[in-house]
Amino acid sequence: MRKQTQKLIYCLVAGLLPIAVFGFSSGPPIPRAGVPGDAGGQNCSSCHRTFGGANADPAGSVKIEAATYKPGVPQVIKVTVQHPEALRWGFQLTARLKGDDQKMAGTFTVDSNVQVRCSPTGNSPCNGALEFAEHREVYTHGGVNGSKTFEIEWNPPASEVGEVIFYAAGNAANGDGNLTGDRIYTTTLTVAAGGACTLTKKPALRGVGDAAAGKPGLAMNSLLSIYGNDFQVAGSSRLAGPADFVGGAFPKQLGCIAVEVAGQRVPVTYVQSDQINAQVPTLTQTGTVNVLVIANPGQVNELRSDVGTISLQNYAPQLFTFNGSSVAALIAGTATPVANPSVAASGRPAKPGEIISLFGTGFGPTEPVYQAGEIASSTTPVKLRDPVTIAVGGTTLAASDVLFAGAAPGLISGLYQINIRIPAATADGDIPVSVQIGGITSATGTTIPVKR
């Protein structure tokens, strides 16, 4: 209620201040480009409300024109506002990552017609903060035949970041210098990278291990981490999201990086300059296989790392942890971590008799088998093919206390979930937990806190 009241007061007072002689001809406040995550998607109709909300009058529109981008190569973005009765014009434009509308994509160039404002820091330079390009007063004139096209130079990120969404709000104004009688329009445009990957350094592969415990043994569909250098431009990273999915599965190229395991391209879930998270392909073979990191895959400037190796085995069970020892468990059916508050601020110990969920990788095939990169069913339980044994405090759990063991619902196929009941006789303290399947036991030293 307080924020709504403040906004109403702001808009009313704006009509009384001297600046109202020009409305917002010197540039609208921020944020007003209609980004869903920016203050609830506010746009210029927050104050220009004569005709209701944005896009209320179908006689006008705003349009964005942009080409596919090449990392680090500037291009001119065009924003056209039109309405047959309008006499003066304004705009606000921002660019965001498709997977996260609170992350800026690139920067805008300031010139005599265009200013750049930053959220929440003020005027440019924004130094990584969210940017909004908008008109200066001189740029609000000069519409021809009921329209005005603004040109803004955009500098894409230095490396490929997936699809980018431009958000724009346009004001087709009547030119009377007030907030009334103006029509507001909003639109978006999604652009992809133009296929030009520009990584310049040969990737250096230093080590490979499972993504949970960092151990060298891996199984089919295991989630793995690759460590090294020059996987991305320093300071940048890419997390795969739905916009990157191919055929409903995780991509086999992310941030201009691909990974081969045993000669097969594999799903990549995350990339930063010194780490790649990926997934072992759905293989039945065991033994030593090659691993390769490829920068700018398929391009004339393709760069390949030296070949590394990993050992594939039928099973390589490992539990994810918060800090290397405290198992990354949740109170079943909740988002509450099973952890001491010193490890996870919102965590708490489990109670004897309580059901918790453990998460791990390397447990082998499920029934049915999911291919690497696929998303496990979120509605039908996908169980492990082979039996799993859980030990809590050195005591093997009864079968009745292992309620589920299989693919984590709705998540990548190599992530497994095990729901267990904490035995009633479990003592207080940090209790050792281990998992065994196919005769292979997870790493020692992993615990969960228990307190009555």
Selection from 242, 228, 240, 232 nearest residue 307 by Cα: 228
Selection from 40, 41, 43, 35 nearest residue 105 by Cα: 35
Tell me the C-alpha distance between 131 and 135, whole Å.
13
* Per-residue pLDDT, 244: 84
Are the C-beta atoms of 5 and 11 separated by less than 8 Å?
Answer: no
Share of the chain above pLDDT 90, in %: 74
Residue 17 neighbours by CB under 8 Å, 6+ apart: none
Are the C-beta atoms of 227 and 274 separated by less than 8 Å?
Answer: yes
- Residue 151, pLDDT above cutoff 90: yes
- Residue 13, pLDDT above cutoff 60: no
Tell me the C-alpha distance between 35 and 343, whole Å.
35
* Per-residue pLDDT, 144: 83
Are the C-beta atoms of 327 and 358 separated by less than 8 Å?
Answer: yes
Taking CA atoms, 45 is separated from 32, 171, 368, in Å, by 8, 9, 52
Are the C-beta atoms of 55 and 139 separated by less than 8 Å?
Answer: no
* Per-residue pLDDT, 258: 97
Q: Which domains does the chain have, with CATH numbers?
A: 2-191 (2.60.40.680), 204-312 (2.60.40.10), 318-450 (no CATH)
* Per-residue pLDDT, 271: 95
Selection from 246, 27, 47 nearest residue 138 by Cα: 27
Tell me the C-alpha distance between 212 and 322, whole Å.
10
Tell me the C-alpha distance between 406 and 380, whole Å.
11
- Residue 8, pLDDT above cutoff 60: no
Residue 144 neighbours by CB under 8 Å, 6+ apart: none
* Per-residue pLDDT, 234: 85
- Residue 3's pLDDT band, with cuts at 50, 70 and 90, is very low
Tell me the C-alpha distance between 275 and 403, whole Å.
35
- 18-32, 115-129, 222-236: which range is least confident on average? 18-32
* Per-residue pLDDT, 9: 27
Q: Which two tokens stand for residue 365?
A: 């095939």
- The sign one gets for the Cα dihedral 197, 203, 209, 212 is negative
Tell me the C-alpha distance between 363 and 139, whole Å.
62
* Per-residue pLDDT, 310: 96
Q: 180-215: per-residue pLDDT in tens? A: 889 999 999 999 887 678 899 999 999 999 999 999
- Residue 380, pLDDT above cutoff 50: yes
Tell me the C-alpha distance between 105 and 98, whole Å.
9
Q: 304-332: per-residue pLDDT in tens? A: 999 999 999 999 999 999 999 999 999 99
Tell me the C-alpha distance between 91 and 296, whole Å.
36
* Per-residue pLDDT, 26: 61
Give phi and psi for 149, each to the nearest 5: -110, 120
- Residue 100's pLDDT band, with cuts at 50, 70 and 90, is confident
Highest mean pLDDT among 97-111, 133-147, 363-377: 363-377
DSSP-based three-state secondary structure for 286: coil
- Residue 25's pLDDT band, with cuts at 50, 70 and 90, is low
- The sign one gets for the Cα dihedral 215, 220, 223, 227 is positive
| Cis-peptide into 216, omega within 30 deg | no
- Residue 7's pLDDT band, with cuts at 50, 70 and 90, is very low
Q: 178-189: per-residue pLDDT in tens? A: 778 899 999 999
- 160-169, 220-229, 366-375: which range is least confident on average? 160-169
| Residue that has been written with the tokens 């303290």 in this structure | 429
